[in-house]
Amino acid sequence: MIADLERRIEDTETWDHARCHDAWIAMTGTMPGSRLSLRFLRKALAFELQCKELGGHTAAIRRQFRAGVRSAAASTQALTPGTQLVREWNGRVYRVKVTADGFEMDGQNYSSLSAVAKRITGAEWSGPRFFGLNKHKP
């Protein structure tokens, strides 16, 4: 059983993007995100294979995931227009103003804090986390 699972996971490492895309749909019944990398798809498929074979997360862990998602969304919804967020990054201070339509920084408008964080860092970040709106609990 475990040896077969390990073999199937190893097989995913040889799949191209189209094969991973098709396998994702077959396993989950949903379309994968259009920007998912091949590396991520392979890891997600390996995780799905393990869950199907060995069982997924416990109910308690699933509740914690759901609670974390809600708190991240709530942290940006609570911001009112006019609020200023300040973050220092690599020696520069960035000021972001909350607007009715999203966020403004350096005269540019952004639809999300994550877009602002990406503009600042050049990498994918959770905007609320980057600006310290939701703290990671130990």
Q: What is the pLDDT of residues 17-53, one digit of tens each?
A: 999 999 999 988 888 888 889 999 999 899 888 888 8
Q: Which of residues 74 and 16 earns the better pLDDT score? A: 16
Q: CA-CA-CA-CA torsion for 35, 40, 42, 45, nearest 10 degrees?
A: -90
**Higher-pLDDT residue of 119, 72:** 119
Cβ neighbours, 10 Å, residue 103: 23
Confidence at 75, pLDDT banded by 50, 70, 90: low
Query: 39-67 burial by CB neighbour count: b if 16+ within 10 A, else e?
Result: eebbebbbebbeeeeeeeeeeeeeeeeee
Pairing of strands 108-110, 84-89: unpaired
- Residue 61, token pair as written in the block: 């862990």
Q: How many residues does the chain have?
A: 138
Please state the rounded mean pLDDT for residues 76-102: 88
pLDDT tier for residue 68 given thresholds of 50, 70 and 90: low
> 79 falls in which pLDDT band (50, 70, 90)?
confident
Nearest to 49 by CA among 13, 94, 74, 77: 13
